[in-house]
Amino acid sequence: MAFREIVTIPEPVLRRKARKVSEFDSELQTLVDDMVETVQQAPGVGLAAPQINVSQRVIVVEYGDDEDEDVPPKLYIVVNPEIVRFSQEKITATEGCLSIPGFAGEVERSESITVKGSNRRGQPMRIKATGWLARIFQHEIDHLDGVLFIDRAERVWKVEGEARQVAPAD
């Protein structure tokens, strides 16, 4: 596994629609391993392949329930993710992005979603997510379509130091 450099705006790859993965080969396995290493070292709670300059539809999300420290964070790897259900209920909260360091913004997202996709071996998977996990998935899947949180934010502001990616505001 290797850490890969995270690209920041205005890198064009961040605005491109990423390609669907069709081969679940060793190259993909290396990409996934490197994305896991990179999101853990960043540290972040999610990473989309375009953020390491690879225009492919792969995301990794690592998120633990803040209220229960005994439960280790869960790692999700989703290839060709697609949101097949958005809840009507929406929540506005503060987001940041590893590719837009130094900024945060308030973004409205669905409170819960269902994500469909494949695991790293190409087997179909389905994830139901609510709350912060749902928000992280929506943020990462947006990256695959070249959409950034600043496009959706009602307001954006500068933050001191390094902004954490999609994290609770305080």
Task: Provide the annotated active-site residues.
Answer: 140
Q: Residue 46 and residue 99: Cα distance in Å, rounded?
A: 11
Q: Residue 152 and residue 101: Cα distance in Å, rounded?
A: 17
35 or 97: CB nearest Zn ion: 97
Stretch that binds Zn ion, among 16-24, 54-62, 76-84, 96-104 (CB under 5 A): 96-104
Edge-to-edge strand list for the sheet holding 74-86: 46-48, 58-63, 74-86, 112-118, 124-130
Per the DSSP assignment, residues forming a β-bridge with 117 are 125
CA nearest 36: which of 52, 70, 60? Answer: 60
88 or 158: CB nearest Zn ion: 158
Q: How far is the CB of 39 from Zn ion (least distance, A)?
A: 11
How many residues form the binding site for Zn ion (CB under 5 A)? 1
Q: Kindly state whether residue 97 participates in binding Zn ion, applying the rule CB under 5 A.
A: yes
Q: How far is the CB of 165 from Zn ion (least distance, A)?
A: 6
Q: Which residues bind Zn ion (CB under 5 A)?
A: 97
